[in-house]
A and B are shown apart, each in its own frame.
Chain A
Amino acid sequence: MSKFSKKRGKSTPAISTASLPDIIFILLFFFMVVTVMRDAELKVSVSTPNATELTKLENKSLVNFLYIGKPLERFKTIYGTKPRLQLGDKISEIHDIPIFLEKHRIKVSENQRPGISSSLRVDGNVTMGIVQDVKTELRKSNQLKINYSAKPRARE
């Protein structure tokens, strides 16, 4: 009896690190799956306002993003200080929207096209003028499903 207890008490066995790579791989795969590589470099500063009634954007490939905000500090000399619209990775004008939408549309398979939605990521301090123009253009291009991007805020 004393034989066993003595042995155990003397040396705690080292934890086997053999399964460490497996654990790391699991983590790795998790991050690989959830990673979304930023495809657009933002040239305008966008800090979306807070809201409570949020819906999640379902299928990422069916969403096109429109950014509205003031140009970043280093782009101010080129694009000025007034709020601008960014489509994809370049600053654009309102009349570029139909082409932008069409470019996205042709990448989506035909039966999924009715589900295409536009995510408007607009800075909170932008005035409604430019937003209104964008909305009007979206309506004219028959892109009616839109999502005003917002950060969650706790319900009071």
Chain B
Amino acid sequence: MGRTKTRERFANQINAGSMADIAFLLLFFFLVTTTILEDKGILVKLPPWSDEEPDITKLKTRNVFSVLVNASNQLLVRGEIMQVSDLRERTKEFISNPDRREDLAESPSNAIISLKNDRGTNYKTYLGVYNELQAAYNELRNETALKRYGKEYEYCTAEQKNKIRNEIPLVISEAEPTAFGEEGN
């Protein structure tokens, strides 16, 4: 009689030994289904739609940095052929104009980058070019922040960032692309 009593008492406890196994099963399920989505990209603000083409003829030529990308993914920057790898340095030189040259931008806030591509341009090339232009601006802002506040742009306060952003505004004007190249490959 005494024996059954103890058995009953034990039966009231749930065996937690298999808890680990259950947890493991769930864990494996989530491990397999997880895709830690690395969602990163180049943030772009498109201009609002308007039916009339913006007129850039009013601008001084020295302030416009024209970048053309053709259907065979070649680059023409201010009338000369260039490699994507050189673009960043040239853009920086154009925006900051350290030697006060006559043919480069009057000041960073006047500088405008005009980007034009073909409908046959590869997206990879286009994004590469866009990335370099963005990088040029980011580096310039960073250098200004380091010089003025002694820290990188990223770590500046919102006010300081705003100030730098107003001095070196990112203006990339994208013209309607040409349609010389072959599409759909």
Contact = CB atoms under 8 A, between A and B. Distances in A.
A53 B46 CA distance: 17
A131 B121 CA distance: 10
B65 interface: no
Contact of A127 (B27, B33, B185): B185
Contacts of B46: 135, 138-139, 144-146
Interface in A53-112: 53-57, 60, 63, 82-83
Interface in A102-135: 117, 119-120, 122-132, 135
Nearest to A30: B30
Interface residues of B, number: 49
Contact of B135 (A53, A129, A136): A53
A150 B42 contact: yes
B37 interface: yes
A148 B119 contact: no
A45 interface: no
B43 A147 contact: yes
A24 B27 contact: yes
Contact of A132 (B24, B119, B138): B119
B150 interface: no
A122 B131 CA distance: 15
Interface string B22-41: 01101100110111111111
A128 B118 CA distance: 7
A55 B71 CA distance: 28
A146 B126 CA distance: 15
A11 interface: no
B167 to A, nearest CB: 19
B44 interface: yes
B108 interface: no
Contacts of B35: 35-36, 38
A49 B128 contact: yes
B49 A21 contact: no
Contacts of B130: 148
Contacts of B126: 128, 131
Given A56-B39, A139-B46, A127 B123 contact: yes
Interface in B109-135: 117-124, 126-128, 130-131, 134-135
A115 B134 CA distance: 22
Contacts of B138: 53
B54 interface: no
Nearest to B69: A128
B120 A129 contact: yes
The 7 lowest CB-CB distance pairs between A and B, nearest first, are A124-B124, A129-B119, A31-B30, A24-B23, A54-B40, A139-B49, A147-B41
Interface of B: 16, 19-20, 23-24, 26-27, 30-31, 33-49, 117-124, 126-128, 130-131, 134-135, 138, 177, 179, 181-185
Interface of A: 17, 20-21, 24-25, 27-28, 31-32, 34-38, 48-49, 51-57, 60, 63, 82-83, 117, 119-120, 122-132, 135-136, 138-140, 142, 144-152
Given A36-B37, A127-B120, A146-B45, 9 more contacts: A35-B34, A53-B131, A54-B40, A55-B40, A119-B39, A125-B124, A127-B123, A127-B181, A142-B48
